[in-house]
Amino acid sequence: MEKFSYVSTTDTRRKFGLITLQSDETIEDDMRKLLPSDVSLLVSRVPSGQEVSLESLQGMTKHLTAAASLFPRGLCFDVVGYGCTSGTSQIGAQRIASLVREGTETNRVTEPLSALIAVCKFARVKRLAILSPYIAMVSTKLCKVLEEQGVSTTIFGSFAEPNEARVVSIDNASIISAATKLVKNIKVDALFISCTNLRTLDAVGPLVKVLGIPVFSSNLVLAWHMLGSKNPPWDLL
């Protein structure tokens, strides 16, 4: 055997970790579209049910630390994102951060709910319309947390679809149509389209033009918050 020498290089890009749901088919593609080239994105997955319920969302607490521990050993991430909006509302942002830090080293932990609260403060949003794929019971806690942060969420619409495999198949035209009907003749500061598995990025631009208000989605605000950007989130599109 001939033995060769080599030169080691150092990857100077920012290190981002993403813990996504086993059932999510959307967030990884979206993140790689939204994040700049100077970010290295590493992904782990957490077991999740095909049916979205309060029990299945809460059940992810048993697996989050293990999912975080599957990242390469020895890395210290700039930030780790947990990719579930409804799961965050049920588990709690602080609990998620604690569970993630037990499994990997990171300077920050965030998720779509904390990101949404931050973007509402950034854009001075007080009245928020929400479109979700899930039944109202799943989103009740989300609305409550936002209300506690001074964001009114009295306008809520849903596709009432509990099955993740069908959520990912909801098409762009359906999202745009539902969002347009939801805020028609209603005065709100912005629209939030919830769920990391819902394919929303291509709907945001057209909806902004039609509605004339800021439009956010779970993956858009999460990418923005992970980056710690001082620019508006829509600049990422």
Answer yes or no: is pLDDT of 185 > 80.
Answer: yes
Q: Are residues 82 and 137 in the same domain?
A: no
Confidence (pLDDT) at 134: 85
User: Do 176 and 107 share a domain, yes or no?
Assistant: no
Structure confidence by residue, pLDDT tens digits, 56-88: 778 788 999 999 999 999 999 999 999 999 899
| The predicted structure's pLDDT at residue 141 | 85
CB-CB contact of 186 with 157 (8 Å): no
Report the sign of the C-alpha dihedral through residues 87, 92, 223, 62, in that order.
negative
- 138 falls in which pLDDT band (50, 70, 90)? confident
Q: Which of 91, 111, 131 delimits the end of a domain?
A: 111
Task: Give the span between the Cα atoms of 129 and 26, in whole angstroms.
Answer: 22
Q: What is the span of the domain harbouring residue 160?
A: 113-217
Cα–Cα dist 101/70, whole Å: 12
Number of folded domains in the chain?
2
Q: What is the pTM of this model?
A: 0.95
Read off the tokens for 96: 């998620």
Residues 93, 98, 101, 103, CA torsion sign: negative
Closest CA to 174 of 200, 197, 196, 192: 200
Which token pair is 154? 């009295």
Residues 40 and 100 grouped into a single domain: yes
